[in-house]
Structure 1
């Protein structure tokens, strides 16, 4: 069985995960505890690590079952197919969040100017600088090769 990523309504992640479990679909909604401060008090709040995402593990033929739950919008797609998350990646997230030495966790997207290392594809192990981000593509500068790489996504 594969792990898929389900996109939910904003702030519905924990509700969706609970309801998916109730109908027998194995799911995982990684949560973190943060201290929020208002002008008059501080409070510990448990929120999702990934906003609007819940991981579900099921067979490919059972994928439509998640739409029985209110709050589920769609699956996350990568290169025209539903995004599949490896078991090892889910295990890494679980282990990282259960580690008592970790005090602050956050997820951020790439920003213009970030230096990254490409992990797959033809340019695997090349260092790049993010030059531009749009709704359809990234433009990366590969300094060591003296070229600009445009990566389209859907």
Structure 2
């Protein structure tokens, strides 16, 4: 099962000036923003993960955004202003007045984790030792090591959001960076 909403590659993107930006969306508008961006030829990424929801009469597995109210948008400097006119987008995440960009490596790490359908926990940001997975399907994914309740987790962070994705991992499979 595909755990991401990902737009098709745009027809004419200026690769040199395009960057991955993080935009804040209105509540539960990530997927609508994704669809509208796809219609205008802009690549975007909404990482999804499976969550079990329990109601009084049933349980159901739903795919929900890993980072609620956020969408990653691959756009040029000029297109990013056009995108702000969309009613689903509130604003870009900024630092000192400038829209923050994230690396392609970070996007690929998040994609790799979500695509391999490992148990994912979304945690608030917590600093730790930087490590890289050395083997297996997630080989090459980098993050910070965190220990919680006697379990080891690898954090793949989005520092500007002070959020991270955490996967349960054995210390035997990681090496210091």
**TM-score normalized with structure 2 length:** 0.59
Counterpart position of 2:29:
12
Counterpart position of 1:117:
128
Q: CA deviation at 1:19?
A: 1.1
- Structure 2 counterparts to residues 21-60 of structure 1, below 5 A: 21-60=38-77
* Secondary structure of the structure 2 residue equivalent to 1:68: coil
Q: Which has the larger radius of gyration?
A: 1
Question: In the alignment, is residue 107 of structure 1 matched against residue 122 of structure 2?
Answer: yes
Structure 1: unaligned runs, 5 residues or longer: 120-154
Bigger share in strand: 2
Counterpart position of 2:148:
none
RMSD, aligned CA = 1.7
Note the alpha carbon deviations across 1:112-149, whole angstroms, 9 max, x for none.
xx6x3387xxxxxxxxxxxxxxxxxxxxxxxxxxxxxx
Note the alpha carbon deviations across 1:79-107, whole angstroms, 9 max, x for none.
4321101000000000011114x1x2122
Q: List structure 1 segments (4+ residues) > 6 angstroms apart after TM superposition.
A: none
Q: Report the Cα distance in structure 2 between the residues aligned to 1:4 and 1:72, rounded to whole angstroms.
A: 12
Q: 1:35 to 1:117 in 2, by over 3 A?
A: closer
Counterpart position of 1:63:
80
Q: Size of the alignment, in residue pairs?
A: 113
* Secondary structure of the structure 1 residue equivalent to 2:78: helix
Structure 2: unaligned runs, 5 residues or longer: 1-17, 131-177
* Secondary structure of the structure 1 residue equivalent to 2:44: strand
